[in-house]
Structure 1
Amino acid sequence: MTDVEIEYCVPCGFLERAEDVQHALLTSLGEDLDSVALVTGEKGVFRVSVDGETIYDKDENGDYDTDALVDAVRERV
């Protein structure tokens, strides 16, 4: 099974963004995932990791697309 971690900046107000991605992952892939954890961070972070491997980082990848993130996780399940 697979563990997903969504690290988000609390002061930046990225909680809603993180919850949206978490909900999409659980709705689409819930039976194939062990966990989808929200992890608090700071300094503008918004990062999605699958089993410890970063698949999306706002600083490197720019704007996020929830559907693209779900597809990227699906490829690793």
Structure 2
Amino acid sequence: MKPTITIEYCPKCGWLLRAAWMAQELLTTFVEDVHAVTLVPSEVAGRYTVKLDDHLLWDRKREGHFPEPKEMKQRVRDQIAPERDLGHNDR
């Protein structure tokens, strides 16, 4: 079964649009490789995490910033299709 990407975001912080934009970027790039990208409003203030199934790919607090689409696409690719070339996102 294809993996699911979960983006957990803080709705009180107004991060829904940021999470939706990232979901769109990931779905566009990995349309054949993932089952779904889900958006989950967090009950924890300030949370913005991205998981591939149960594997944590990004934690805003740990990393110190939000992921750029390029960074997130590389991390997803490294987990699901390491041999795949992401074109300009790899440069």
TM-score (norm 2): 0.80
Residue 46, structure 1, aligned to residue 48, structure 2: yes
Identity of aligned residues (%): 31
Distance 2:69 2:20 in 1: 11
RMSD of equivalent CA atoms: 0.8
User: Any idea what SS the aligned residue of 2:13 has?
Assistant: coil
- Counting matched residue pairs gives 77
Question: Displacement, 1:45?
Answer: 0.4
Q: Does 1:66 align with 2:73?
A: no
Deviations 1:12-57 (A, max 9, x none): 0000110111000000001110110000113100000001111100
Mark the structure with the bigger radius of gyration: 2
| Between structures 1 and 2, the one with greater helix share | 1
Of the two structures, which has the highest relative contact order with CA contacts closer than 8 Å and spacing of 6 or more? 1
The residue correspondences of 1:28-39 to structure 2 (distance < 5 A) are 28-39=29-40
For 2:64 and 2:22, the matched residues in 1 are separated by: 15
Which consecutive aligned stretches of 4+ in structure 1 deviate over 4 angstroms post-superposition?
none
* Amino acid aligned to 1:32: D
**TM-score of the two chains, using structure 1 as the length reference:** 0.94
More strand by share: 1
* Per-residue deviation, 1:65: 1.2
